[in-house]
Amino acid sequence: MSEKPEKKKIASEDVEELKEVLSAVSTEVPALIKSIIASVFSEEAGRNMGKAAAAFYKELKDSGMPDNVAVKMTEDYIGVFTSLGDILKRVGEGKEKVIITRGEKGKEIEEEIERRIKEKLAEKKKTEAEEEEE
Partner 1 sequence: MGKTRSLLIISVFSSAVSVIRLLGSLAVIYLGLGWKVRKARRALEKELRKAGMSKEDARRIGAQYTALKDNAVKAIKRSVTGFRFS
**DSSP for 23-81?**
HHHHHHHHHHHHHHHHHHSSHHHHHHHHHHHHHHHHHHHHTT--HHHHHHHHHHHHHHH
Total binding residues toward partner 1, as defined by CB under 8 A: 51
- For residue 74, give every residue at least 6 positions away whose Cβ sits within 8 Å of its Cβ, in sequence order, or none: 53, 56, 57, 60
Considering only 10, 69, 84, 117, the residue that binds partner 1 (CB under 8 A) is 84
Instruction: Check residue 69 for interaction with partner 1 (CB under 8 A).
Output: no
CB of 101 to partner 1, least distance (A): 22
Considering only 7, 10, 39, 40, the residue that binds partner 1 (CB under 8 A) is 40
Of 47, 41, 44, 68, nearest to 57 by C-alpha is: 68
Instruction: Check residue 86 for interaction with partner 1 (CB under 8 A).
Output: yes
Binding footprint of partner 1 on the chain (CB under 8 A) = 8-9, 11-12, 15-16, 18-19, 22-23, 25-26, 29-30, 33-34, 37-38, 40-47, 49-51, 53-55, 57-58, 61, 71, 74-75, 78-79, 81-82, 84-86, 88-89, 91-94
